[in-house]
Amino acid sequence: MTPLRLGFVWAALAAIAFGLTTPLVAHLTIGVGPWFTAGCLYLGGAIFALAAHRNRKTLTAGFATHWNVLIPIAVIGGMLAPAAYVIGVHASGALAASLALNMEAPFSVAYAAIVFREFVGRRVIVAMLAIVAGASLMALEHAALGILNVGVLFVVTATALWAIDNGLSANLSALDARITVFWKSSIGAALSLLVAFALHEPTGSAQTITMIVAVGAIGYGASLVCYLIAQRHFGVARTASVFAAAPFIGALAAIAAHDAGFGLVTGLAMLLMLAGVVLHATERHAHMHRHISEEHTHKHRHDDLHHSHVHEAAVAGEHTHEHVHRQLVHAHEHADDAAHSHEH
């Protein structure tokens, strides 16, 4: 499977896992404080990451090496963004909140293009616009006079914060995604819960708390692991644009739960968003490019056209160690991953 297709699969899995959370959060957290909800969601994410990666030594080493990035993404993406998102969901409802989440795509693509200088071709732009147009049509069909309410503005604020989080997380592409998710989730959850207790927020029943944590394990733990793996294979911009299908998934779930009706405009919006996802799934990007000689340590495998070094004992699958890259000039399909940040 090519890096583009592999990245698409991981990004699509992330979108499905996260997209289904908005209707669940809207229904499960009625009467529960937004900071407490955010803390429980990311507590679930931390539990998932810890269960998936039980090596305490590498968890500790990962934080010691990358604390300067892990702490900012925990505050921005694991504390501030989910609190704004939950406030928005409570104020605007599942459907409007799901659609507003679509703003994460243009924010992330703009961040990737401006900060990381990622190549964003016409196909990516068209795909992103198709998804945004579909979500916009659905929003216009159900919004009263097209006026955005305060809840939607809070969700849009959350997407802007998550876009910054996505960009910062790209600096951790060489780190195991489960380690990144654990520290982001655990620090974000701890800070959110501290604020919730300081504000004496309502917490709901033990059953409600358990269900919110479970939603967080899938929608924020598993989804974020998939998202970070996608970024490693696919780049910031492409991952964000495919992940823009998450609002569409959430909107469908809201409609299925009878939170909104289904009409002609909604059907047209679905076709537009599907077209955008298909454009990504079938994207091809190949040309002659140069890799400089370097020595570094990161997770890799030996069938990716870039790691041909020899081990004393046979090694299969992904593994991590210090290795040397010789200067290489070749052409093949690739995305804006850590090994392909060249100019176009």
Angstrom distance (rounded) from CA 330 to CA 325:
14
For the chain, list the strands marked E by DSSP: 286-291, 294-300, 319-325, 328-333
Angstrom distance (rounded) from CA 13 to CA 233:
14
Closest by CA position to 216, among listed 38, 11, 69, 13 = 38
Angstrom distance (rounded) from CA 101 to CA 246:
8
Buried b (16+ CB within 10 A) or exposed e, 218-232: bbbbbbbbbbbbbbb
Weakest mean pLDDT among 11-25, 82-96, 115-129, 290-304: 290-304
For 244-274, write each residue's pLDDT tens digit.
778 878 878 887 776 655 667 767 877 887 7
Give the pLDDT band of residue 289 (cuts 50, 70, 90).
Answer: very low
Give the pLDDT band of residue 298 (cuts 50, 70, 90).
Answer: low
Instruction: Give the range with max mean pLDDT: 22-36, 84-98, 161-175.
Output: 22-36
Angstrom distance (rounded) from CA 278 to CA 203:
42
Pairing label, strands 286-291, 328-333: antiparallel
- According to the model, what pLDDT value does residue 342 have? 46
Cβ partners under 8 Å of residue 310, min gap 6:
none
Residue 162, classed as helix, strand or coil, is helix
Look at the block and give the residue holding tokens 């804006």: 336
Residue 305 has pLDDT above 70, yes or no: no
For 114-172, write each residue's pLDDT tens digit.
777 676 777 778 877 887 787 677 666 655 545 556 788 898 899 999 999 988 887 88
Choice between 319 and 90, residue whose per-residue pLDDT is larger: 90
Q: How many helices (H) and strands (E) does the chain have?
A: 15, 4
Encoded tokens for 306: 């870039």
Residue ranges per structural domain of the chain: 3-286, 293-326
Encoded tokens for 185: 């989730």
Residue 287 has pLDDT above 50, yes or no: no
**Continuous segment of H or E residues that includes residue 178:** helix 177-198
Encoded tokens for 143: 């919004």
- According to the model, what pLDDT value does residue 281 have? 60
Encoded tokens for 332: 């093949």
Residue 129, classed as helix, strand or coil, is helix
In sequence order, the β-bridge partners of residue 330 are 289
- According to the model, what pLDDT value does residue 44 have? 96
Residue 190 has pLDDT above 90, yes or no: yes
- According to the model, what pLDDT value does residue 132 have? 78
- According to the model, what pLDDT value does residue 121 have? 73
Look at the block and give the residue holding tokens 């998102």: 85
- According to the model, what pLDDT value does residue 157 have? 92
Terminal Cα distance for the chain, rounded: 24
- According to the model, what pLDDT value does residue 207 have? 95
Q: What is the pTM of this model?
A: 0.72
Mean pLDDT of 329-340: 50
Residue 231, classed as helix, strand or coil, is helix
Contact at 8 Å (CB) between 85 and 188?
no
Contact at 8 Å (CB) between 9 and 234?
no
Give the pLDDT band of residue 312 (cuts 50, 70, 90).
Answer: low
Mean pLDDT of 1-15: 81
Residue 100 has pLDDT above 70, yes or no: yes
Cα Rg of the chain (Å, integer): 20
Contact at 8 Å (CB) between 16 and 170?
no
Angstrom distance (rounded) from CA 295 to CA 75:
32
- According to the model, what pLDDT value does residue 52 have? 86
Rounded to the nearest angstrom, the gap between the alpha carbon of residue 260 and the centroid of all alpha carbons in its chain is 26
In 3-state terms the chain splits into helix, strand, coil percentages (rounded to 5) of: 70, 10, 25
Encoded tokens for 242: 């495919």
- According to the model, what pLDDT value does residue 69 have? 93
Contact at 8 Å (CB) between 335 and 233?
yes
Choice between 333 and 188, residue whose per-residue pLDDT is larger: 188
Give the pLDDT band of residue 182 (cuts 50, 70, 90).
Answer: very high
Encoded tokens for 304: 């990716």
For 28-63, write each residue's pLDDT tens digit.
998 999 999 999 999 999 999 999 887 778 888 889
Mean pLDDT of 2-16: 83
Mean pLDDT computed over every residue of the chain: 79
- According to the model, what pLDDT value does residue 334 have? 43
